[in-house]
Amino acid sequence: MKYGYVRVSTKEQNIDRQLVEMYAQGLNDKTIFIDKQSGKDFERDEYQKLKKILKTGDLLIIKSIDRLGRNYDMIIDEWRTLVNDMNVDIQVLDMPLLDTRTEGKNLVGKFISDIVLQILSFVAENERENIKKRQAEGIRIAKEKGKHLGRPKLKLPKNFTIIANQYKKKEITLAEALSSLKMNRSSFYKLLATTR
């Protein structure tokens, strides 16, 4: 049986490019498993469902090695589990050398496949580390320039103290306080905690 695995890091990212490739391999919606979350580990719902149904002789198709995951050691371990322990074949569409159906049948082919896998896994993890470094650097530079990061700070409305005191004394209800201040409950309670 053939199965496809598609992954993007966030719900907003588009999976169409990967799906087109899967459909071209003769797969359909019942045989394609899709995760929309980070590849930092293999604790992904759809991937785990797929892994539970894979049997000896099945073929797992992925577009590129980084769709499987981003952590170098984990990718190597997972590949070995699938291929060696579960006897599942893997085909990586963007890298024809990573196709255990053809390359893994002889010693030289297996050796080449293992080397290519290790290189690509290293590149995938290295890119993940570079993204983290770029984010940290951007945050550091923004802080040095005095830019506020994250959500904007809550501004205290001019009449907040009066309304808050009335609420504390139970002269008005929470709903009346929120309506007067034109704010939501969580913002009100956060500001209330800072003014005690």
Active site residues: 9
Distance CA 93, CA 8 (A): 16
Cβ atoms < 10 Å from Cβ of 123: 13
Distance CA 19, CA 41 (A): 22
Print the SS3 string covering the chain.
Answer: CEEEEEEECCCCCCCHHHHHHHHHCCCCCCCEEEEECCCCCCCCHHHHHHHHHCCCCCEEEECCHHHHCCCHHHHHHHHHHHHHHCCCEEEECCCCCCECCCHHHCHHHHHHHHHHHHHHHHHHHHHHHHHHHHHHHHHHHHHHCCCCCCCCCCCCCCCHHHHHHHHHCCCCCHHHHHHHHCCCHHHHHHHHHHCC
